[in-house]
Structure 1
Amino acid sequence: MRTTPALLTAALLLALAAGCTTSPDASSQTPTPTESTSPSVSASPSPTSADPRVLARANAEDAVRSYYALVDEVGSDPNTPASRLERVATSVELEVRQADLEQWRKDGWRKTGRTQVTDVVVQSVILDNSDPKAGLVPTVQVDVCYDVSDVDVLDSAGASVVSPDRADRAWERLHVANYDYDDDPDGGWRVAALETLEKAPCAGS
């Protein structure tokens, strides 16, 4: 985690994926969208549906919620292995999160509170698994509005390092990919890339 004040807001808002590069192996390639479906506000699809798009959508939504929960957990406990992030992230996002966490721990930072996922909007479902090495893997694009009003980041002395200008609610776009789709179409979904969206935040509950 960089410690300059200008980056504190972006760090806490989980928007550090921008500007990072991928490595040449398949697991570090950012998924490549090739088609899209109409956006839809999150609603739990029928778990008995045989439609692979419906199942992918539901599994990706579950993966998104697990991602935010585990990022909070790992950030709050310096004894939690960084490797646990592999359960919820892959590719660029995994590299960013692990580097971020390593810097936090060097600086003696820790997170308190929990991120609330307020809105989840599925923007596209793409099940192209034709070339994983080129990033052509099943990918669900999900827009998430989250609330961090309960979240703080403390330094080694227990003082907050969060910018007073931080927005408590904001939108992010998550690209949730499954590089193991053939072997694990349900449980292989991970957040592969993330970007901050410039739009009005969702309303608070």
Structure 2
Amino acid sequence: MTDLESVATSIVLDADKREFERWRRDGWTQQGSTRLVEVDLVDVSLDNSDPSTGRVPVVQFDVCYDISSGDVVDASGNSVAPPDQPVRGWERLRVANYNWDMDPAGAWRVSSAETLEQAPCDAD
């Protein structure tokens, strides 16, 4: 299992793999860090009635992040981030457990992520 597979699954895993492959091909790296400013629990469902169709336990969070202390740079150290990119925003993350029967505590993975169109949180 890769590091990425230990935290993501489904469409998030596929999208992240493609994104990281592009970064590697283009020589991009992240400098600094992303800070989680606020994490709000939105919903919890522990329904594991039909894992074969995706009916598995899911927890949904709204997460406000701040990337003001980070950047993405090319191999020469030049920023490749769009100049008008917001430094704060909201994402809705769904964290699912497709192995609930075998690993109810440790098999949680981010299964979907959606950018929310709302005012950024206060980063104080």
* Identical-residue share of aligned pairs (%): 52
1:116 aligned to 2:54?
no
Structure 1 residue matching 2:59: 3-state secondary structure: strand
Matched, 1:160 2:79: yes
* 3-state SS, counterpart of residue 105 of structure 1: helix
Shift of 1:90: 0.6
Aligned residue in 2 for 1:106: 25
* 1:140 counterpart residue number: 59
For 1:132 and 1:96, locate their aligned partners in 2 and report how far apart those are by CA, in whole Å.
22
How big is each residue's C-alpha offset from its partner over 1:33-75, in whole Å with a ceiling of 9 and x where there is no partner? xxxxxxxxxxxxxxxxxxxxxxxxxxxxxxxxxxxxxxxxxxx
- Which 4+ residue blocks in structure 1 deviate beyond 6 angstroms? none
2:16 aligns with: 97
How many residue pairs get aligned? The number is 124
1:99 partner amino acid: R
In 2, the alpha carbon distance for the partners of 1:156 and 1:202 equals: 32
Normalized per residue, the structure richer in strand is: 2
The aligned counterpart of 2:2 is: 83
**Which deviates further from its counterpart, 139-148 or 181-190?**
181-190
Structure 1 unpaired stretches of 5+? 1-81
1:1-205 to 2 correspondence within 5 Å?
A: 83-205=2-124
Structure 2: gaps spanning 5 or more residues:
none
What SS class does the counterpart of residue 100 from structure 1 fall into?
A: helix
Scaled by the length of structure 2, the TM-score of the pair is 0.96
Distance 1:188 1:110 in 2: 28
